[in-house]
Structure 1
Amino acid sequence: MINNQNIHSSVTIEDGAKIAPDVVIGPFCSIGKGVEIKSGCTLEANIILKGKIRIDEDVKIFSFAIIGNDNSEIEIGTKTHIREFTQIGSQESEDGENRKIIIGSNNFLMGYVQLSSGVELGDFCIITNAVRLLENVKCHEKVIVGGLSIIEANNTIGTGVMIGGASVVTTDIPPFMLVEGNKATIKGLNIIGLRRRVENKDDIEEIKAIYKRVLGDGVDKVMAQEILKTHQNEYIKQLTSFIISSNLE
């Protein structure tokens, strides 16, 4: 039994759970034996945590979220916010293998988001309302996914991608792209996102030029390979190496 005045008397905590002394837990939450919650975290009401879960510092989880199942393994990075009714790894995977779910730091998951087995999020991602990431989806850092979207299983979303609302993503998406639609297609570069992260304007112009060469008239992996060999710009290398190894055709 954990003695913590910040934990509501109605909370159920199984023996074996590790909860930092300053963690705040609201009414009617259920915390499983394999859960570790570090300092500065806040859980609102009616939250269920099951399986092996590590929640790093200063995470906030809002009411009615369900995270984990009896066989899941989940990591949630520091300063991540998880809004109401979100479900993370709450269902068994279809093939019976519960792959680890990794959520980086400073992420914002809005209401009714669903993350399946094997999902990985980099840092500073924003997953908006009612988005579903199916099994083994990987999102690199600073990805934004618009509401009501679905990313189908086994796809990877590159850094700085913005996905428009109500999109269905069926392939890998290279870094810095703007995509939307059902099924989602690349509409161009996420220029606003690039301006926020790339200080040198010449780098942005170079990314624009390379984008036209390797993606302007369809995916050209041969051209991407040639550019990767000759360019030293880190953003160009990131873009072209992703395209070469992607499932894009």
Structure 2
Amino acid sequence: MAEKKANIHPSVVIEKGAKIAPDVKIGPFCFIGRDVELKAGCTLESNVILKGSLRVELNVKIFSFAVMGREDSEIVIGEKTHIREFTQIGAQESQNGENKKIIIGANNFLMGYVQILGGVELGDFCIITNAVRLYENVKCEENVIIGGLSTVEANNTIGTGVMIGGASVVTSDIPPFMLVEGNKATIKGLNVIGLRRRLENKGDIEEIKAVFKKILGDGADKILAQEIADTNPNELIKRLASFVASSNL
């Protein structure tokens, strides 16, 4: 069987040293830097700019006018991630000039005009909607959903299964499974719909509800949270309680 050839528009600029898998598709007027690696199944629409040490895993799709990386940046994009128009990932220098690696997990969906700064880590299966800004060193665990026009300020962690409402400003860590919104964002309760979609065991959901009331019902009780993390055998409860115990809440 003949090897598939990359479908690359003649207007594309590819610097010497770039690694392009045989079946990659690259549309008009893209720029691919010398330290970029595009693995099999990737598609770039028109006017995409990729620079720096950038590894794009299998079957990633990048839409028009997205910009990723600088000359000295280090970025990894996980497989089957979709990155929509005008998104910027690591395109800006950090305030102190330090190079901070950006890791975007697998199966993520980044909508238009998303901006991700240095040191950000994004877990798998996250949805970052339009015009969201993640400042330096923000960490999002898996299955996080962030509503449009929201901002997560630097050095904060968003736990697994969190849903952040649109136009919110997040200024602190958000524990797993929470529903938050507002400027500034506050916890409104549990993301129950998200829990029902992820968990088949209704008993787990009820236990999470009970622990939530104990450790976050009237402010964060970090001492009780640590006790629960040390003694409760349920891994979901351990994850929630240990997060609260070590958070900046």
Question: What TM-score bracket applies, with the shorter chain setting the length?
Answer: over 0.9
Cα distance in 2 between the residues matched to 1:131 and 1:226: 36
* Residue of structure 2 in register with 1:135 after alignment: 136
* Residue of structure 1 in register with 2:247 after alignment: 246
Report if aligned partners of 2:27, 2:47 keep a CA contact under 8 Å in 1.
yes
Report if aligned partners of 2:162, 2:178 keep a CA contact under 8 Å in 1.
yes
* Residue type of the alignment partner of 2:130: N
Structure 1, unmatched stretches of 5+, are none
- Residues paired across the two proteins, number: 246
* Residue type of the alignment partner of 2:131: A
How do 1:1-249 residues align onto structure 2 when only pairs under 5 Å count? 6-248=7-249
* Residue type of the alignment partner of 2:55: R
Identity %: 76
Report if aligned partners of 2:6, 2:21 keep a CA contact under 8 Å in 1.
no
Q: Secondary structure at the match of 2:55?
A: strand
Q: Return the offset for 1:5.
A: 5.2
Cα distance in 1 between the residues matched to 2:243 and 2:17: 42
Q: Return the offset for 1:227.
A: 1.2
Cα distance in 2 between the residues matched to 1:37 and 1:162: 31
* Residue type of the alignment partner of 2:42: C
Report if aligned partners of 2:6, 2:24 keep a CA contact under 8 Å in 1.
no
* Residue type of the alignment partner of 2:175: P
Q: Return the offset for 1:152.
A: 0.1
* Residue type of the alignment partner of 2:176: P
Please provide the CA RMSD for this pair. 1.0
Larger mean CA deviation between 225-234 and 107-116 belongs to 225-234
Structure 2, unmatched stretches of 5+, are none
TM-superposition CA deviations, 1:53-87 (whole Å, max 9, x none): 00000000000000000110000000000000000
TM-superposition CA deviations, 1:143-166 (whole Å, max 9, x none): 000000000000000000000000
Q: Return the offset for 1:229.
A: 2.0
Larger mean CA deviation between 152-161 and 222-231 belongs to 222-231
TM-superposition CA deviations, 1:183-218 (whole Å, max 9, x none): 000000000000011111011000000000000011
* Residue type of the alignment partner of 1:95: N
Q: Secondary structure at the match of 1:179?
A: strand
Q: 4+ runs of 1 displaced by more than 4 Å?
A: none
Q: Secondary structure at the match of 1:15?
A: coil
Cα distance in 2 between the residues matched to 1:221 and 1:57: 41
Q: Return the offset for 1:98.
A: 1.5
